[in-house]
Amino acid sequence: MKNPTLITTAVFMFVLFLSSCKKEYTCMCTYDDGTNTGEAAYTLKEKKKEVAARCDAYEVAVNSTTTWECEVK
C-alpha cells in the first residue's frame, strides 16, 4: 500500500455517501371517524422514496367511517 491516506479518504467518502442517502422525515397522519379527529406523526429515517411508500401504507380505511390521510413532511 503506497498511499494509505488515499484509501482512508476513499472509505470515508463511501461511508459519507451511504449515510447521506438516509435522512429523517416525518409522516404526518390525520384521522377522522365521523365523531373524532386526530393526528399522529411517525419519524422515519430512510430514503425519501421508502418513506413515501411507508407513509402511503399507513393511509388506510380502518372501517367504513374511519379514514387516515398521511403525507411526508
Q: Where are the domains of the chain?
A: 23-72
C-alpha 12/C-alpha 31 separation (Å) is 44
CA distances, 20 to each of 4, 11, 42, 66 (Å) = 24, 14, 20, 37
pLDDT digits (tens, 9 = 90+) for 45-71: 988 889 999 999 888 766 777 888 999
More confident residue, 28 or 34: 28
Q: What is the pLDDT of residue 11?
A: 62
Average pLDDT over every residue of 8-23 = 62
Q: What is the pLDDT of residue 29?
A: 93
Residue 29 near residue 70 (C-beta atoms within 8 A): yes
Average pLDDT over every residue of 20-32 = 85
Q: What is the pLDDT of residue 52?
A: 92
* 0.85 exceeded by pTM: no
